[in-house]
Every structure is written in structure tokens, then in C-alpha cells.
Amino acid sequence: MSTENPVDAPDDGVGDRSPGESTSTDFIRQKIAADNDSARFSQRVQTRFPPEPNGYLHIGHAKAINLNFSVAAEFAGTCNLRFDDTNPEGEDQEYIDGIEEDLAWLGYKPSGPVLYASDYFQQLYDWAENLIEKGLAYVDDQDAETISAQRGGFGKPGVESPHRQRTPAENMELFRGMRDGLYADGEKVLRAKIDMQSENMQLRDPIMYRIKRMAHHRTGDTWIIYPTYDWAHGQSDAIEGVTHSLCTLEFTDNRALYDWYLSNLDLPHEQPEQTEYARLGLTYTPMSKRVFARLVNDGIVDGWDDPRMPTLRGLRRRGYPASAIRDFVDKVGIARTNSTTEIELLESFVRTELNRTSLRRMAVLRPLKVVITNWPEGEERLLTAINNPEDDTAGTRTVAFGPELWIEQDDFKVEPPAKYYRLSPGREVRLRAGFYITAHDVETDAEGNPTTVFCSYDPESEGGSTPDGRKVKATIHWVSAQHAVGGTVNLYNRLFSDPHPGEGGTDPLASVNPDSRETLTDVRLEQSLADVEPGQVVQFERLGYFAVDLDDSTVFHRTVGLRDEWANIQKRQQKSQRQHKNQGQQKKKRSS
RNA sequence: UCGCGGGUAGUUCAACUGGCAGAACACCAGACUUUGAAUCUGGGGGUUGCAGGUUCGAGCCCUGCCCCGCGAGCCA
């Protein structure tokens, strides 16, 4: 919505949104609309995307990004990128750069400069002293184990720390000592003094600061005490003027703490409000940085940008268009229900986009030689092929044709099974953008596998039709043997074979699919495929969409296959055969 | 065990806040087709977790129960 003042806009629902914008009316958007109606936050809307720079972004983050940026755009608000870099452990400039790059690739631009929670360390420190002065925070000398034990449990009371009653003056001196390096790592912490009997564990005197002598990627050695997430997050929101702080469901219990901290501080803006929604779940896809790090470290994948990874870099390398990812996360919607979306939905958005935009090319992945026996000696032809039937402006290209061709092994059967209507002895098919050919003879190897198919062509069928108008049932792709160029193709299957990896407390890595990648080094490509851009995605006709590798333009990654009706037919045939067999066995059993 | 959140086609979400339960993807069938693709048409699919209650009328309100998720880091 581009209306300047959303409150005064007529209640026209989503009618005036442009096609690119979200048309959702989820509970968050409804809530923001209601806030605007009641003039809360002075009708201002500000969100933020707050990743910790300790890993790369994945498709789960895409949902959070889309939500925050789209909501801001729809309500004429702003959305910033803020790095939640409160804990130097595991954080690195490498990830900051990577996240900015991935965010830009996904198609989003922060409303202002990139922000860092670490820029607020001094303000956070000052606020901590304020809380100490008010008697709302204290220094605890106990170790982590003791503090944890005293916290109690669900339905069990907590125990107050013996240091809980220290005076503000005493706490102030100790806290400054923490900052100034008087104590060892872990020797002391600063805690909020809230309620050790609260039913909400987050409120049982949570830790605000810990001592950690570790260089921070941005503040270096300036600080040796670092704020925890809870002590930093709401305040960062408040400093920036965030109005709606959107996060995932696991932070629901933290909201009470978020509010407690902010209500005890003098804030420069209205107090922001946290709202939670469910994170993205995807079948066959664990969604955890921890698991991804193990895949990388154990060498199961080549890196964070391996095309099998659900990271944004991995998906980009695989050829997933950013717009398809955006459409997908938008379509999944925002709710509070824990859910797992079928990965087929994502793939359908990828196909829809690529079908619209990608050039058609011919490539033979598993080559079988075809010899045209009646082709005029020494002759060569250039045929015209359409680049994209979905896009007239994409034009045409020429493909060379000669006496020897490569076709797909799957496209020829000596004894065709039921409903198979590709090439077989005596049968005529059309070569895409070429001629009709009929198979006559086959040469086979010792095991009976075809090595060469001898065919005749109909000279009158150039362009794909004949004067007599006779029909053929199949059109197959091909590449001229004399003109083909070589290349490598990576075929990908699911990285995990279980639709819900790690379900029931099992190790997600236990269901890693050992056959997630198949590399074909002997593929035959039409000449034009020697001239492609890194990252470009083309459709290999009848096979699928393939992305040119970012570093090596002779390597193609299968982004996603085409829908394959023939494969479905075969599956059904096998299934019904098995059922017949089982029925036969059951009959035998019964009669015996 | 305690607290919080959640249960609507196979899946993800809608249902204008109490008024004929819909869409997309998936699945099935047909049409069309120089990609067994795409496109088009149609179809199967639901005891709205369960049991009561209020109401002319309940997916929505009330009561009880069941199931699932999250929460006891000096992680975020």
C-alpha cells in the first residue's frame, strides 16, 4: 500500500495492492492496522531484521526478511538490518558480509544504514547502572551451575541468591569491577532482580551481563563484559525506534522480560512491542544453523554454498530465483501454528518462474548414438529452434544437424513397455526442431544394451511436420554428434531421505541421503551452451532447469526437474504389478 | 509436574469477527500440444482434535477433556 496515511485510507482491503506486494491479511498485519487505527506509535511502523552474524542465511530467514520488509512497505514504514552481535563467540565479519550479500540478492534493501547491537554497548552499560541504582539489578558471585540449580524447575520454586540483597552502592562497585577486568571470566554476572518464584522461567532473575575475555569482531578488546540477548534486544529496538518487533515463537516467554526491561528504562521512543509467529518448517529440510554447520564440517556437503544446502547461497548456486523464494515465503503466510510446508510448494514456485524466464536448450545426459542411414553424404544443416515458447521476445537460435546424433538412452527401447511411445524399432518419432525419424536396426553390446540405433529420416518433415499431416506420439531431444560440446552435470536428490529429519529426538544427520548428488561427466550439449553466463539458468528440454555454475561455466547444476508424467506412469505400473503379485500370493496362502 | 501457545482437505493458509467451510500446492481424469513440459477444463477429497452447552444459527462464544509445540544457557 502506498497510501500516505493508511488510517485515512478507505477500508478497501487488498484491492489496491500491486501484484508484487503481499496480499496477506495475517494476524500481524491486522494488528498493525489496528494499532494505526488507534493512533498507537503515532501511526508509525518500523520493523527490523536482526540476524546474529554467526552463520549464513537460510530459507527460514527468507520468511522473516519477507515479513519485516513487506510489512514495512505496506504500511509506508521502514525496516532496518541490525546485526545482533552481542556475543563474540562464533561471530565473524565474514558472516556480516555474507548476510548483506544474501539479503541484497534476495531483493531487499534496508531503509537506512546497517545497524549493530554492538554500537549500543555503552548505552546498554549506562542503562544497567540505572537499574542497579534503582535496586533492580545485582551482581551474583555464584557459578553457572549453582545459578541454574537455584532457578528451580517447571512447577518448582526458585531459590534466591545469597547476593540478592546487596546494596546499590555495593553492586555498582562490583559491576564496574567486572567491566574493568577485576574478575575472571565466569566469576561474576549481573542479574536482573525480578521474581525467583515466577511461573515464567525467563523472569527468575535473568543474566544481563557475563564476563568474557574475547575479542569482538567490531569492538575488539574494548569490552570484556557482554550483554545477553534479552538485555540487548528490546533496548536495541527502542534505541532505533522500532515499533513492531517481530520474532519467532520460541521467544514467546521472553516477551515478559522484554517488557519488564523496557518499562524500567527511560526510552527515547514509545516502547516497542514484540509479536511472535511460527518459524518456517520444510519437509526433507532441517532448519538449524547447528545442523548446517555439521554438514559443512563433516564434509557431507562442499560448503555453505553447496547447491544441496537450504542456505540462500546454496539455493542461489542451485539456480533458485530470488523471486521464487520470495513468492514462496509470502504464500506460506504468517500464523502461530507450528507447521511444516511441503517442499513441493517451493519447487512449484521455482518451476513457475523458470518456465516463464529460462531459455530452452538441448542437452543429452546419458548419450546413445543414432545414425541416420539415408542422410545425404557429407551434408550438414542448420535448423531453427525457439528459445522460449513462453516468451516471444526471446527469439530463436540455430542448431546444427548431421548424420550422427546423440539421444537420451531413456528415449529408446528395443522392447517398448506399455504406454511407452518414444523411439523403438519400427516406430517413428519427431526430433525436436528437426525431422521425423524411424528406427530400423540396433547394435547392442555383450549385455544386450543398445550402443547404436540406425534410423531413417523423412526429408519432408523438416521443421516438425509432414505434408501428409501424419502424427507422431513423441518428440525427443537430441544433439548433433559432430557439433556437440562436452560438459558436466550435477543431478541432485533430496539431501535428507526422511521428510522430517530429526523427528522424535533422533539425529537429523542419521537420515542424510548418501545419493544426494549424481555427477555426469559425459554429457553432450548443443553448441550454444558453450556460451552461457555464470549463474544463468536454462531449461534442458524435457529434462529440467539447470544452472550454470558460478565458477566453472562447463558445470551445470540441476535446479529442479520438469514434472514427469512418464515417470509417474512407470511408478504406478510398478505399484500395480506389486499389488497383483501380493494378491496372488495371498490367494495361494488362502487356498493352501 | 507448572506456565504459555496451537489444533480447519494430504500440506500450508483463508473464512470480512456468530450467517452457504474456500484457495494454492499435491493427487486423479480429460482437452490441447513440435517438451509425457507449459496451458485449459473438470474431479475426488472436511464429523473444523473430542464431548457437552448457549443460540433461530457455532470453525468462531462458554465448560470439560485429548493431542502437539515451546520454556529451567553466563546461546540467540
The integer distance in angstroms from the CA atom of A342 to the C1' atom of B9 is: 15
Say if residue A161 is in the same domain as residue A58. Answer: yes
If asked whether residues A520 and A407 sit together in one domain, one would say yes
**Is nucleic acid strand B under 7 Å from A342's C-beta?**
yes
Q: Name the protein residue, with chain letter, whose CA is nearest the C1' of B8.
A: A337
| Distance between CA atoms of residues A571 and A577, nearest Å | 10
Give A579's pLDDT tier (boundaries 50, 70, 90). low
Contact A274, A301 (CB under 8 A): no
A499 touches strand B (CB under 7 A): no
| Strand B–CB A31 distance below 7 A | no
**A39 within some domain:** yes
Last residue of one domain, picked from the residues A242, A257, A277? A277
Give phi and psi for A348, each to the nearest 5.
-70, -35
Angle between helices A121-133 and A168-180 (to 10 degrees): 160
Q: What is the rounded CA–CA span in Å between residue A458 and residue A128?
A: 86
**DSSP conformation letters of A545-571:** EEEEPSS-TTEEEEEEEPP-HHHHHHH
Q: Label residue A504 by pLDDT band (50, 70, 90).
A: confident
CATH number of residue A56's parent domain: 3.40.50.620
User: Does the nearest atom of strand B lie within 7 Å of A313's Cβ?
Assistant: no
Angle between helices A121-133 and A229-240 (to 10 degrees): 110
Q: Which nucleotides of B are covered by protein (CB under 7 A)?
A: 1-8, 10-15, 17, 24-28, 34-39, 68-76
Kindly report which listed range (A35-44, A493-502, A569-578) carries the lowest average pLDDT score: A569-578
> Would you say residue A572 has pLDDT above 90?
no
Nearest residue to nucleotide B3 when comparing alpha carbons to its C1'? A199
What whole-number distance in Å separates Cα of residue A351 and Cα of residue A354?
A: 5
8 A C-beta contact, residue A226 and residue A88: yes
Residues A574 and A544 in one domain: no
Q: Do A566 and A521 share a structural domain?
A: no
Contact A75, A107 (CB under 8 A): no
A343 belongs to a structural domain: no
Supply the pLDDT for residue A585: 58
* A226-280 pLDDT tens trace: 999 999 999 999 999 999 999 999 999 999 999 999 999 999 999 999 999 999 9
* Å between CA of A89 and C1' of B13: 39
A201-CA/B71-C1' distance, Å:
7
Q: Would you say A72 and A45 are in contact if contact means Cβ atoms under 8 Å apart?
A: yes
Domain boundary among A237, A262, A277: A277
Nucleotide nearest to A544 (CA to C1'): B37
The reply to whether A578 and A546 lie within a common domain is no
The answer to the question of residue A298 being in a domain is no
In the three-class reduction of DSSP (H, G, I as helix; E, B as strand; rest coil), residue A579 is classed as helix
Residues 6+ apart with CB under 8 A from A489: A363, A365, A519, A520, A523, A546, A555, A556, A557, A558
Q: Are residues A462 and A485 in the same domain?
A: yes
Counted domains in chain A: 3
Q: Which nucleotide's C1' atom has the smallest distance to the CA of A144? A: B74
Grid cell listed for A129: 547502572
Distance in angstroms: CA A338, C1' B44: 28
Contact between A352 and A324 under an 8 Å Cβ cutoff? The reply is: yes
Mean pLDDT confidence for A350-362: 98
Angle between helices A322-332 and A343-357 (to 10 degrees): 140
A157 touches strand B (CB under 7 A): no
Give A376's DSSP letter: P
Distance CA A150, CA A159 (A): 5
Distance A335 CA to B26 C1' (A): 21
Rounded Cα distance, A213 and A225, in Å: 8
Distance A63 CA to B24 C1' (A): 18
Give the residue numbers of A annotated as catalytic, written as ranges.
Answer: 52, 279, 289
Half-sphere exposure (Cβ direction) of A91: Cα atoms closer than 13 Å: 21
What sign has the CA pseudo-torsion A458, A459, A464, A470? negative
Do the domain assignments include residue A432? Answer: yes
DSSP 8-state code for residue A48: E
Residues A388 and A528 in one domain: yes
In the three-class reduction of DSSP (H, G, I as helix; E, B as strand; rest coil), residue A104 is classed as helix
Residues 215-244 of A with CB under 7 A from strand B: 226, 228-230
Q: Which residue has the higher pLDDT, A436 or A506?
A: A436
Mean pLDDT for the stretch of residues A397-406 = 97
Grid coordinates of A219: 569492538
Q: Taking 70 as the threshold, does the pLDDT of residue A20 lie above it?
A: no
Residues A357-378: what's their mean pLDDT?
A: 97
Tell me if A348 is assigned to some domain.
no
Sheet hosting strand A78-83, strand order edge to edge: A46-49, A78-83, A115-116
The pLDDT assigned to A586 comes to 55
- For the CA of A456 and the C1' of B54, the distance in angstroms is 81
pLDDT at A281 over 80: yes
Chain A window 507-546, residues with Cβ within 7 A of nucleic strand B:
539, 541-542
Q: Which three cell numbers stand for residue A382?
A: 542448420
A584 and A481 assigned to the same domain: no
- Percent of chain A past pLDDT 90, that is, above it, reads 90
What nine digits make up the cell of A475?
A: 518428440
From the alpha carbon of A50, which nucleotide's C1' atom is closest? B76
Whether nucleic acid strand B comes within 7 Å of the CB of A300, the answer is: no
Would you say how long chain A is, in residues? 592
Type and span of the H or E element at A140: strand A137-140
- Same domain? For A572 and A544 the reply is no
What is the Cα–Cα distance from A571 to A47, expressed in whole angstroms? 48
Q: Looking at the predicted structure, is the pLDDT value of residue A21 above 50?
A: no
Round to a whole number and report the distance in Å from the CA of A333 to the C1' of B53.
34
Let me know if residue A546 belongs to a domain.
yes
Does residue A333 reach within 7 angstroms of strand B, measured from its CB? Answer: yes
Indicate which CATH number applies to the domain containing A513.
2.40.240.10
A249 and A143 both lie in a single domain: yes
A12 touches strand B (CB under 7 A): no
Of residues A573 and A526, the one with the higher pLDDT is: A526
A582: confidence class by pLDDT, cuts 50, 70, 90: low
Residue pointed to by grid coordinates 552502592: A169
C-alpha cell at A133: 541504582
Report residue A405 as a C-alpha cell. 546424433
- pLDDT, averaged across chain A: 93
pTM for this one?
0.93
User: Average of pLDDT values for A25-53?
Assistant: 95
* Amino acid A202 CA to nucleotide B3 C1' distance, rounded Å: 11
Q: Give the contacts of A45 (CB within 8 A, at least 6 positions apart).
A: A32, A36, A71, A72, A75, A76, A77, A78, A243, A244
Residues A301, A492: contact at Cβ < 8 Å? no
* A327 falls within a domain: no
On whether both A190 and A269 belong to a single domain, the answer is yes
Number of Cβ within a 10 Å radius of residue A5:
9
The complex scores an ipTM of: 0.96
pLDDT at A506: 87
Strand stretches in A472-586, DSSP E: 475-476, 478-480, 485-492, 517-525, 537-540, 544-548, 555-561
In A283-355 the beta strands, taken as DSSP E runs, fall at none
CA distance A463 to A433: 6
In this complex, the answer to whether residue A566 has its CB under 7 A from any atom of chain B, a nucleic strand, is yes
Higher pLDDT, A236 or A576: A236
Residue A303 lies in a domain: no
3-state helix, strand, coil in chain A (%, to 5): 35, 25, 45
pLDDT digits (tens, 9 = 90+) for A190-225: 999 999 999 999 999 999 999 999 999 999 999 999
CA closest to C1' of B35 belongs to: A542
- Tell me, in Å, how far CA of A280 is from C1' of B69? 14
Calculate mean pLDDT across residues A326-343.
96
Q: Would you call A43 helix, strand, or coil by DSSP?
A: helix
Q: Looking at the predicted structure, is the pLDDT value of residue A7 above 70? A: no
Is there contact between A317 and strand B, defined as CB under 7 Å from any strand atom?
Answer: no
Do A385 and A487 sit in the same domain of this protein? yes
Q: Does residue A53 sit in helix, strand or coil?
A: coil
A207 is in which domain, residue-wise? 27-277
CB of A2 within 7 Å of some strand B atom = no
Q: Which nucleotide is nearest to A89 (CA to C1')?
A: B75
Query: Strand B: which residues 68-127 of A lie within 7 A (CB)?
Result: 84, 86-87, 89
A338 touches strand B (CB under 7 A): yes
Write the CB contacts of A272 (distance below 8 Å, at least 6 apart in sequence): A234, A237, A238, A242, A243, A244, A245, A262
